[in-house]
Structure 1
Amino acid sequence: MHSVRRDLGMLRDRRFALLLAVRTISVLGSGFAPVALAFGVLALPGSTATTLSVVLTAEALPMVAFMLVGGVIADRLPRHRVMMAGEGLNAAAYLSLAAMMLTGWAPVPALATAAAVSGVATAIFFPALTGIVPDVVPTERLQTANALLGLGTNISRVAGLVLSGGAVVLLGAGWSLAVSGAMFAVAATMVTALRLTPAERAAAERHSVLADLREGWREFASRQWLWVVVAQFSILVMAVQAAHGVLGPLVAKESLGGAPAWSAVLAGEAVGMIAGILVTLRLRPRRPILVATLLTLPTALPYLLLGSSAPLWAVVAAAVVMGICFDVFGVLWNTTMQREVPPEALSRVSSYDALGSLMFGPIGLLVAGPVAIAIGPRPALLACAVIVAGVSLLALLSPGVRGLRAPVEETVEEPVAAAPDGAPAEAGA
């Protein structure tokens, strides 16, 4: 058993508490950004849906294009400095967008350029975030650390989405974007205090970027459980994007009562996201990747019920289950990757993970509309449910997925004293 007191005791470690604060503030800023940006762009004179599409695409493409480079940078340099650069670039991007909205000078090329800077910032930031956790906490505390980080992330994400709508109405899109940029700036300032000692971050050998990418690929491809689940998620995320982004809202509009009904589904998922983190504070499976992969099977439930004309309450309940499953998966996945992958290659491997998992998502969004027109949104949702369940079952055929075991110390956790006066916690390899 793992006591809540022992878990929360990690907050007494100054560096982990600082990392948690940085991540929570950053996600709160991210929660403000999408709503403010969408309504701000659409409110501009002469703006159309195409204008918004151009701006959002300008943000998404650099994020994908620079993700692998972000992994190389985070493995070469101290990760707190890389995170600071990412947060600083995001602050600059959103403050620039805010200035354009507030002054009324907002040509599409300038909006797209600022959005592209934000995409690059995200590509730099996330590989460093994955890699920095084992730099800050010891190996036997990784799952607890990931769970607490996830709890703060999910609460901030929900709060940001809830507050952003009111902020846009009360303050306007420009000032809401300024609030988002200010939060990124605060996070960038705070992360400067998260200094890692040379003992924790061995100096990386200097190679070309291509050589570093090849080395990261070898680490990624040599672990069957890793590439199998990433391949699973490349298809799963495509189906989820289609269902969540297009097909679900279509069905909600046609037969469930419109936007309030879809908001209820998203709220149920958010509740599940928070509950899932609380589950992971207690759960210590001996076969973490097997359990994580099994938990992707129930994520097909909301789409199955939506496609079967189930009542709204059932769909909301299934969304709660989906939120729990995805969050438990995320904590088990990050913990296992941080434990199994060498620290000097962790950010590059996590960038391959992110790129592989997300690369087909835009295709799901692109084909969802035509498929819904051709066969109807409900049959298309049933197809999404079949795809999610099918690729999850295929992943379970992998011996690497079924057989990877957590070390004994991960399942029987010993108390760890908080580092005095912010001294570095000894990180396991």
Structure 2
Amino acid sequence: MTSADLPRRPRRPSWAGRNYSLLATAAVVTSLGSNGSLIAAAFAVLQAGGDGGDVGLVAASRTLPLVVFLLIGGAVADRLPRHRVMVAANALNCLSQAAFAALVLAGEPRLWQMAALTALGGTGQAFFGPAAEGMLMSSVEGEQAGRAFAVFRMATQGAALGGAALGGALVAAVGPGWVLATDAAAFAVAGALRCFLDVGHIPPRAPGGGLLADLRDGWREFTGRPWLWGVVVQFSVANAVVGAADAVYGPLVARDRLGGAGPWGLALAAFGAGTVAGALLMTRWKPRRLLLAGTFCVFPLALPSAALAVPVPVGVLYAVMFGTGATTQVFGVSWMTALHQEIPEDKLSRVSAYDWFGSVSLIPLAAALAGPAESAFGRTVALWGCSALVVLVTALVLLVPEVRTLARRPPPITASPPASADAERSVGGFG
């Protein structure tokens, strides 16, 4: 038997290098754990005697430090080696979740303790998110960047679906404490994987004028690109109203008109399945006008609120949620590809931080106003208002010329030495 007869191991795609593979594997591990822990944290609060308001308080305890520290996290990630920032953030998340699990397993944790530990997790995420996004974008290059981002998002969204389903089952089987402990272990494994990231290809950062100077530099980069801040403003509103509809109105409509929590849970699962399908589509489709195609795919975000306002039968709601999840991923991959193409590598984390900040900053306010809006206008009107706001801000962002015209650029052509005649014949033999 010759070497040619031996079965060959499948090779990774050219764009799936070592860093990309490590990042994707670690992200899948943490996505599995974190999506289960969200369910576990809510049930831990309820088992400790809390009510719905207490669950909301603990959830808000994660969001507040995320908003407060995001911009600082982006500046730090562009100043220090990004993989070290990621590992440190994973360590903080691991310790906070392990302490949360220990309190729950020991019995009767106090509300302030759970809120404080959740806030530590949000702080870790504020530093991790911009560093991770910058690291991912620097791990791929060339015309295959969009496909790489699509595969990454498909893997993490699939893990999120599995993590939520598995987490719910484990909470029922063994209790929330053990699910939280599993999440802590997932952060430890992911942090260990990220220790092996290679940052040798990233040019050394030039000495700066301090943290405030870095933040100002990132702000200039952000505000100097109308397409960038326009889309971020658009999503600050869209994410806020969609989040309020999903978190507040969706469960209420499901309770009153759709048959309870089960159908609503399946509707959310359909949205998650749609995101996987959308990412799969983007492994093949490369729209030339990145932001134009992506922005048109934001309009369907108005449909779930409209479907709840009617409300449509549960089968139609599942189809709406699936389609919306798919189109959302078309935007997500197009957006990441545009950032990768247009933003200098040494500013990626700061720009990502401003992006994140805009995307999440209005969510707590919208959730807080959802109840008063329902009381003032009625639930149906409030839901139609959510849909209208999504359509309005998406239509407005299309007025920005760069959103309509920014196009995918071909990779730069690198000079290579001419091939010899023998080499040309050899290559032609595979013809």
Identify the residue that residue 271 of structure 2 maps to in structure 1. 269
Q: 2:93 aligns with which of 90, 106, 113?
A: 90
| Partner-residue secondary structure (3-state), 2:122 | helix
Identify the residue that residue 261 of structure 2 maps to in structure 1. 259
1:115 counterpart = 2:118: yes
1:75 counterpart = 2:78: yes
Q: 1:385 aligns with which of 384, 387, 390?
A: 387
Identify the residue that residue 140 of structure 2 maps to in structure 1. 137
Q: 1:128 aligns with which of 128, 131, 152?
A: 131
Provide Cα deviations, 1:320-368, integer angstroms capped at 9, x if missing partner: 1110111111111011112211111110011001101211111221111
Identify the residue that residue 172 of structure 2 maps to in structure 1. 169
Identify the residue that residue 46 of structure 2 maps to in structure 1. 42
CA distance in 1, matches of 2:399, 2:305: 24
What TM-score, normalized by structure 2, do the two folds share? 0.90
| Partner-residue secondary structure (3-state), 2:202 | coil
The answer as to whether partners of 2:16 and 2:148 remain within 8 angstroms in 1 is: no
Letter in 2 for 1:405: A
Q: State the 1:308 CA deviation.
A: 2.2
Q: Which structure has the larger Rg?
A: 2
CA distance in 2, matches of 1:279, 1:7: 22
CA distance in 2, matches of 1:194, 1:106: 37
CA distance in 1, matches of 2:14, 2:31: 21
Identify the residue that residue 21 of structure 1 maps to in structure 2. 25
| Partner-residue secondary structure (3-state), 1:194 | coil
The answer as to whether partners of 2:158 and 2:273 remain within 8 angstroms in 1 is: no
| Partner-residue secondary structure (3-state), 2:411 | helix
Identify the residue that residue 147 of structure 1 maps to in structure 2. 150
| Partner-residue secondary structure (3-state), 1:219 | helix
Q: State the 1:10 CA deviation.
A: 4.4
Identify the residue that residue 54 of structure 2 maps to in structure 1. 51
Q: State the 1:307 CA deviation.
A: 1.4
The answer as to whether partners of 1:7 and 1:281 remain within 8 angstroms in 2 is: no
Q: State the 1:114 CA deviation.
A: 1.4
CA distance in 2, matches of 1:160, 1:83: 21
Q: Aligned pair in 2 of structure 1 residues 116, 305: CA closer, same or farther (>3 Å)?
A: closer
The answer as to whether partners of 2:270 and 2:318 remain within 8 angstroms in 1 is: yes
Identify the residue that residue 236 of structure 1 maps to in structure 2. 238
The answer as to whether partners of 1:75 and 1:204 remain within 8 angstroms in 2 is: no
CA distance in 2, matches of 1:107, 1:305: 39
CA distance in 2, matches of 1:245, 1:8: 40
Q: 2:311 aligns with which of 309, 312, 318?
A: 309
Q: State the 1:305 CA deviation.
A: 2.2
Q: Structure 1 stretch 73-82 or stretch 296-305: which is displaced more?
A: 296-305
The answer as to whether partners of 1:78 and 1:201 remain within 8 angstroms in 2 is: no
Structure 2: give runs of 5+ residues left out of the alignment: 1-9, 413-431
Letter in 2 for 1:371: A
What TM-score, normalized by structure 1, do the two folds share? 0.90
Q: 2:216 aligns with which of 214, 232, 244?
A: 214
Q: State the 1:12 CA deviation.
A: 5.7
CA distance in 1, matches of 2:16, 2:402: 37
Q: Aligned pair in 2 of structure 1 residues 139, 204: CA closer, same or farther (>3 Å)?
A: farther
Identity among equivalent positions (%) equals 38
Provide Cα deviations, 1:160-180, integer angstroms capped at 9, x if missing partner: 110111111111111110001
Identify the residue that residue 7 of structure 2 maps to in structure 1. none
CA distance in 1, matches of 2:248, 2:121: 24
The answer as to whether partners of 2:22 and 2:194 remain within 8 angstroms in 1 is: yes
The answer as to whether partners of 1:54 and 1:112 remain within 8 angstroms in 2 is: yes
Q: State the 1:32 CA deviation.
A: 1.5
Q: How many residues align?
A: 403
CA distance in 2, matches of 1:308, 1:54: 30
| Partner-residue secondary structure (3-state), 2:123 | helix
Letter in 1 for 2:381: P
Q: Aligned pair in 2 of structure 1 residues 309, 168: CA closer, same or farther (>3 Å)?
A: closer
CA distance in 2, matches of 1:37, 1:204: 42
CA distance in 1, matches of 2:61, 2:271: 28
Q: Aligned pair in 2 of structure 1 residues 304, 285: CA closer, same or farther (>3 Å)?
A: same
Identify the residue that residue 334 of structure 1 maps to in structure 2. 336
| Partner-residue secondary structure (3-state), 2:13 | helix
Letter in 1 for 2:30: S
Letter in 2 for 1:41: V
Q: Structure 1 stretch 46-55 or stretch 300-309: which is displaced more?
A: 46-55
